[in-house]
Each structure stands twice: as structure tokens, then as C-alpha cells.
Amino acid sequence: MQKEFVSAGEILKNSSLKATRWRLVLLGMIMKSESGISYQELSESKDFEGHRVTLYRALRDLEEAGIIEKLRDASGNVKYMMKPKESGSHRLHPHFSCRICNSMVCLTDIELPDISLPAGYTREQVVCLVYGLCKSCASTTS
């Protein structure tokens, strides 16, 4: 999640994307989600009344613009989260996914080392995912 409050409109204005109605709605929903949000949750929300193709395209555009990231939680479901920015560049960081409630959080306080690839290779995404029990689920299973 963004450390300082920035509106969906400001984020889109600073990207290469046009601030369409559905991009603004979807980005706002993703920004509000503290543990990632699924395609199904987005499509079933009362805030989104668009077509599923519109949803798919908007998510793809936001991901390609580097605004959001798409990750799989402990159950294998895809979740969308804000891609944290630090000093204008994206830092590599791990994520945590609870195997009981499927919540997912960015562990932005932990920075991963840069990964050098052989010549000719192009990195598209680095994923470091830690599975376990979140604080809430751990306290109820004890």
C-alpha cells in the first residue's frame, strides 16, 4: 500500500494511463484493500458495474503501468495489490499470505537484493511469497 495518501486520480495522472471511470473505481478499491483483492471480489462489488472484459482490461493496464501487482495467495487465488513505490522506483520486497484467511500483505520493510540475470534475459516480475498464519489466525489456532 502507498505510505502517504494519494488519490487514484493522482496516481493515474502521474502514469501513462487515462483516468477512465472504471480505472478510477477499480484503483480506489485496490487502494482500500489492506490484504489484496481478487478479481471475483472486484467484479461482484457494488462499486463496479462494468463488463468483465472492461475489468480485465483495466486490471491489465494498471499492472502493465506498474501501479498494481498480481500475486497468488496461499490458496492459489490471484490477488491484486498496490505496488509500493520508494524514491520513484519499485523496490523488490516479499509478501506474506495467510494459509487460513488468505489475507496477503506487502512486507515493504524487508528489501530483497537485486537479482542479476544473464545477458539477454529480461526480468518481468520477481515474487517472494512467505506462507504461514497471520497474527489474527495464529491467535485463534493456539
Given its phi and psi angles, is residue 66 left (phi above 0), alpha (psi -120 to 50 degrees) or beta? Answer: left
| Residue 82 contacts residue 1 (beta carbons within 8 Å) | yes
Q: In whole angstroms, what is the distance from residue 86 CA to residue 12 CA?
A: 17
| Residue 16 contacts residue 65 (beta carbons within 8 Å) | yes
Asked if residue 134 belongs to a known ligand binding site, the reply is yes
Asked if residue 137 belongs to a known ligand binding site, the reply is yes
Asked if residue 101 belongs to a known ligand binding site, the reply is yes
Asked if residue 106 belongs to a known ligand binding site, the reply is no
Annotated binding-site positions for Zn(2+):
98, 101, 134, 137
Annotated binding-site positions:
98, 101, 134, 137
